[in-house]
Chains A and B, each alone.
Chain A
Amino acid sequence: MPHELSNPLALIAELTHRCPLHCVYCSNPVELQSRSRELSTEIWSRVFQEAAQAGVLQADFTGGEPLARPDIVELVRAARAAGLYVNLITSGLPLDETKLADLVAAGLDHIQLSFQGAREEIANEISGTRSHAQKLRVLDWLRQHRIAVTLNFVIHRRNIDQLEEMLAIAESSCATRIEFANVQYYGWAFANRENLLPTRAQLDHSLDLIKREQERLQGRIRIEYVVPDYYAKYPKPCMGGWGRKLMLITPRGDALPCHAAQVIPGLIFENVKDRSLREIWEHSAAFQKFRGENWMQEPCKNCDRREQDFGGCRCQAMLLAGDAAATDPVCSLALMRPRVDAILAAVNLNSVSLGPALTRPAWLYRPNPA
Chain B
Amino acid sequence: MPLELNSRPRLAPGCRLGENNQQRVLLMPERALRLIGPSLEIIERCDGQHTVAAIISDLQRIYAKAQPQKVEQDILGYLALLEKERALNFEP
Contacts and interface: CB of A to CB of B under 8 A. Distances in A.
A87 B20 contact: no
- Interface centre among A58, A83, A218, by most chain B C-beta atoms within 10 angstroms, is A58
Interface centre among A58, A149, A176, A222 (most CB of B within 10 A): A176
Given A52-B20, A57-B18, A148-B12, A85 B27 contact: yes
Contact of A177 (B20, B27, B29, B83): B29
Contacts of A55: 20-21
B22 to A, nearest CB: 11
A57 B85 contact: no
B13 A146 contact: yes
A116 interface: no
Interface string B13-47: 11110111100010111101000000000000000
Interface residues of A, number: 23
B68 to A, nearest CB: 27
Interface string A241-283: 0000000000000000000000000000000000000000000
Contacts of B86: 176-177, 219, 221-222
Contacts of A150: 29-30
Contacts of A218: 84
Interface residues of B, number: 19
A57 B13 contact: no
A325 interface: no
Given A85-B32, A177-B29, A109 B21 contact: no
A222 B12 contact: no
A57 B86 CA distance: 19
Contacts of B18: 57, 83, 85
A87 B29 contact: yes
B29 A219 contact: no
B56 to A, nearest CB: 21
Contacts of A210: none
A238 interface: no
Interface in A299-323: none
B32 A109 contact: no
A6 to B, nearest CB: 12
Given A147-B14, A222-B85, 19 more contacts: A57-B18, A57-B25, A57-B27, A58-B27, A58-B30, A58-B32, A83-B19, A109-B16, A109-B27, A109-B29, A110-B29, A145-B13, A148-B13, A148-B15, A176-B12, A176-B14, A218-B84, A219-B84, A222-B86
Interface of A: 7, 9, 52, 55, 57-58, 83, 85, 87, 109-110, 145-150, 176-177, 218-219, 221-222
- A-B pairs with lowest CB-CB distance, top 6: A148-B14, A85-B27, A146-B13, A176-B86, A110-B14, A148-B29
17 contacts: A52-B20, A55-B20, A85-B18, A85-B32, A109-B14, A109-B29, A147-B13, A148-B13, A148-B28, A148-B29, A149-B14, A150-B29, A176-B13, A176-B14, A177-B29, A219-B84, A219-B86
